[in-house]
Amino acid sequence: MTRRTILLASPRSFCAGVERAIEIVEQLLARRRSPVYVRKQIVHNTHVVADLESRGAVFVDELDEVPADATVVFSAHGVAPAVRAEAERRGLDVVDATCPLVTKVHAEARRYAGRGDTVVLIGHAGHEEVEGTMGEAPDRTVLVETVDDVAALEVEDAGRVSYLTQTTLAVDETAAVLDALRAKFGALRGPDSADICYATTNRQEALGALSDDADLVLVVGSDNSSNSRRLVELARRRGTPAYLIDDGSGLRPEWLDGVRVIGLTAGASAPPRLVDGVVAALAAFGPVDVVEREITRETVHFTLPVAVRSGAVRDRGCVGPGEFRVQSGRGSQG
What are the binding residues? 15, 44, 77, 99, 127, 167, 197, 225-227, 269
Cβ burial of 46 (10 Å; 0-12, 13-18, 19+) is middle
Binding site for isopentenyl diphosphate, by residue number, is 44, 77, 127, 225-227, 269
Element (DSSP H or E) covering residue 4: strand 4-10
Alpha-carbon span 183 to 163, nearest angstrom: 13
Catalytic residues: 129
Q: Which residue in 333, 307, 53, 306 sits closest to 199, CA to CA?
A: 333
Alpha-carbon span 15 to 45, nearest angstrom: 13
Cβ burial of 256 (10 Å; 0-12, 13-18, 19+) is middle
CB neighbours of residue 293 within 10 Å = 15
Torsion 106-104-51-283 (CA) sign = positive
CB neighbours of residue 45 within 10 Å = 27
CB neighbours of residue 97 within 10 Å = 26
Alpha-carbon span 178 to 244, nearest angstrom: 27
Contacts of 148 (CB under 8 A, 6+ apart): none
Binding site for [4Fe-4S] cluster, by residue number, is 15, 99, 197
Binding site for dimethylallyl diphosphate, by residue number, is 44, 77, 127, 225-227, 269
Task: Map residue 218 onto helix, strand or coil.
Answer: strand
